[in-house]
Amino acid sequence: MKWSILLTSILGFLHPAAHAQVDASLQDSLAHRQAVLGFQQELNKEFSDPKESPLNATERRAFQGLPFYPIRYAYYVAAQLVRDSTSLPFAMETSTARRPLYRKYGELRMVLQGQPVRLSVYQSADLLKRPGYEDYLFLPFTDLTNGHGSYGGGRYLDLRIPPKGTTTMQLDFNRAYNPSCAYNHGYSCPVPPAENRLPLAVPVGVRSEH
Per-residue pLDDT reduced to its tens digit, 85-132: 899 999 999 999 999 999 999 999 999 999 999 999 999 999 999 998
Asked if 134 and 127 count as a contact pair (C-beta separation under 8 A), the reply is yes
Compute the distance between CA of residue 184 and CA of residue 135 in angstroms, rounded to an integer: 28
Residue 58 has pLDDT above 90, yes or no: yes
pTM over 0.75, yes/no: yes
- pLDDT for 2: 33
Residue 16 has pLDDT above 60, yes or no: no
Compute the distance between CA of residue 63 and CA of residue 141 in angstroms, rounded to an integer: 26
Residue 9 has pLDDT above 50, yes or no: no
> Residue 17: which pLDDT band, with cuts at 50, 70 and 90?
very low
Q: Residue 25: count other Cβ atoms within 10 Å of its Cβ.
A: 6
Torsion angles phi and psi, residue 124, rounded to 5? -85, 130
Which of the residue ranges 11-20, 65-74, 76-85, 108-117 would you say has the lowest mean pLDDT? 11-20
Residue 44 has pLDDT above 70, yes or no: yes
| Tens digits of residue pLDDT in 71-80 | 999 999 999 9
Q: Residue 31: count other Cβ atoms within 10 Å of its Cβ.
A: 11
Q: Which of 206, 85, 110, 111 is nearest to 155 (CA)?
A: 206
Q: Residue 194: count other Cβ atoms within 10 Å of its Cβ.
A: 8
Q: Which amino acid appears at position 177 of this protein?
A: Y
